[in-house]
Amino acid sequence: MRVRRISAALAGSAAVALTLAACGTAEVGGDSEGGGEGGGGDTITIGVKYDQPGLGLLEGSAPVGFDVDVATFIAGELGYTPEQIEWTEAASANREAFLQQGTVDMVIATYSITDERKNVVDFAGPYYVAQQDIAVAADDSDISGPDDLAGKVLCSASGSRSANNIVEDMEIDAELREAGNYSECFELLANGTVDAVTTDNTILAGFAAQNPDAYKMVNNPFGEEKYGIGLPKGDTERCEEVNAAVTKMWDEGKTTEFLDSAFGEVGFEYAEEQPAVEGCA
């Protein structure tokens, strides 16, 4: 798999405080009746993150970032203009509930495809495959990979399994500290409450680019996280439409364009080839 080193500046997030999480959500609940030429339904409601620099970060009244760009492209292919998109904050812990309850029409929020999640929601994609990594304080010289986390305090966000991958699957004896979101994890890292934060390298790259004097990635990636578009269970027709949009996004070079514009130069490398799209049930 070819990879490309990101060199573009982090788009518009350098001055945004890490404490931005827990902002109120955008208005939800449009009359989403499907896409089609010219707009189909009145609106489409999409859940994204509001606290992840480079991916989904609330700036003013609207979110920006890679996932937001992906969501906007997909919505366009479904027949919705940017003005017809209603954004809402989808934290890691509420993504399945939002889809099951009809709060959102889809979730594009660093949402890894797993067999457990497939029991309750459907996924289109993946639109990107990330890897897990670790972020530490910029002056930390003790942690260079998962094995160095034994005896350390490790933070991960509620609803994410990243820390469990290390403690349970890799059987490394780290002390887990769960936070509401990754903004909180990085606040805990900044004040010394935790020794490290672990999650997808895309998420860590955004935070590290936002404040390179405070944080760094260890750049020792492991595992794979397939980012999917979460959909309500049984929405096969919409899933197929979204998969076609994802393929078009890669074919037209839009995905790498979105990645280039989203991240700062933090030694993060991203894939240049579309991951295999999984079939819709």
Q: What per-residue confidence (pLDDT) applies to 279?
A: 79
Q: What per-residue confidence (pLDDT) applies to 278?
A: 87
Residue pair 48/89 in contact (Cβ under 8 Å)? The answer is yes
Here the contacts of 218-222 (C-beta below 8 Å, separation 24 or greater) are 218/133, 218/134, 218/135, 218/136, 218/143, 218/144, 218/145, 219/133, 219/267, 219/268, 220/133, 220/134, 220/144, 220/145, 220/146, 221/131, 221/132, 221/133, 222/131, 222/132, 222/133, 222/145, 222/146
pTM: 0.77
Residue pair 88/106 in contact (Cβ under 8 Å)? The answer is no
Q: What per-residue confidence (pLDDT) applies to 161?
A: 81
Q: What per-residue confidence (pLDDT) applies to 281?
A: 67
Q: What per-residue confidence (pLDDT) applies to 166?
A: 94
User: How many helices, marked H, and strands, marked E, lie in the chain?
Assistant: 8, 14
Question: For 132-223, CATH number?
Answer: 3.40.190.10
Question: For 3-129+224-271, CATH number?
Answer: 3.40.190.10
Residues of the chain with pLDDT under 70: 1-41, 264-268, 281
Q: What per-residue confidence (pLDDT) applies to 38?
A: 42
- The domain spans of the chain are 3-129+224-271, 132-223
Q: What per-residue confidence (pLDDT) applies to 4?
A: 43
Tens-place pLDDT, residues 44-65: 999 999 988 999 999 999 999 9
Q: What per-residue confidence (pLDDT) applies to 86?
A: 97
Query: 132-223: same fold as 3-129+224-271?
Result: yes
